[in-house]
Amino acid sequence: MSKQDQCDKPFKVFVGYDTREDIAYQVCRSSMLRHTSISLDIEPIVQENLRSHGLYWRERDPLASTEFTYTRFLTPYLAGYQGWALFCDCDFLWLGDVAQLIEKADPSKAVLCVHHDHRPVEGTKMDGAVQTSYPRKNWSSLMLLNCGHPAARRLTPEIVNTESGAYLHRLQWADDKIIGEVSSTWNWLEGSMPMPEIGTPNVVHYTRGGPWFDGWQDVDYGDLWIAERDRYLAEQNTAAALAVTNRL
């Protein structure tokens, strides 16, 4: 993707939203915006909204740990099957510039992601949800999607609502040769990957859960997440105070 393409209009980013973890979404969004060097159009993927618009009618899967387990695959549809778009889970803390990831967009690929070999040893996540293990686990937690590619166009609402979790999450809708790879620094799994020897990852993914859960503030880079949360809340309080002042 050329820098000119990036500058023409804000780059579309879709973040999975779970009503139980609003603050995780807010911190993900805030941290991404604070580090970006380009304009971004960030939208939450809210299951309730998709259901009300007739775009999502899938029965609840007892193995689905979040409200966006399947709705994430509507990203190409929500982007109008045009251009590139990024999807990421809400439990991300962005420490790097998303523009550097977007620069890796390869038009010969339908999707790019980190090719994790993630085999969690925990039976449950921090919120008590079942921690499942399957091939290509966490590949779909961050996807740079070529929304106009024929493979991405396969992700219609009908397919997202009816196909198996394996078909969707293992990216079986795209041939292996058109699934590009990016460095693990763009989806560094807290608690499952060795600490970087130098610096910090570009993205910390609290796949087991994160500091928004009671008693889990001491996870890796938890202090950075808490600092970003406090910064976000302070900005919200300042904005609210200004709004009150302007009404007086």
- In angstroms, the CA 31 to CA 186 distance is 14
Domain boundaries, the chain: 3-209
Return the pLDDT at 33: 98
**Can you give the pTM of this predicted structure?**
0.90
CB 116 within 8 A of CB 137: yes
Return the pLDDT at 52: 98
Q: How many CB atoms lie within 10 A of CB 15?
A: 23
The SS3 of residue 201 is: coil
The SS3 of residue 97 is: coil
Provide the angle, in degrees to the nearest 10, between the axes of the packed helices 22-35 and 222-247.
Answer: 90
- 129: its two tokens: 């949800």
Return the pLDDT at 113: 98
- In angstroms, the CA 75 to CA 13 distance is 9
Which residue is it, tokens 């939203």? 17
For the domain 3-209, what is the CATH code? Answer: 3.90.550.10
Return the pLDDT at 117: 85
Mean pLDDT by 10 residues, the chain (248 residues): 60 97 98 98 98 96 91 98 98 98 98 86 54 81 98 98 96 98 97 91 95 91 97 92 74
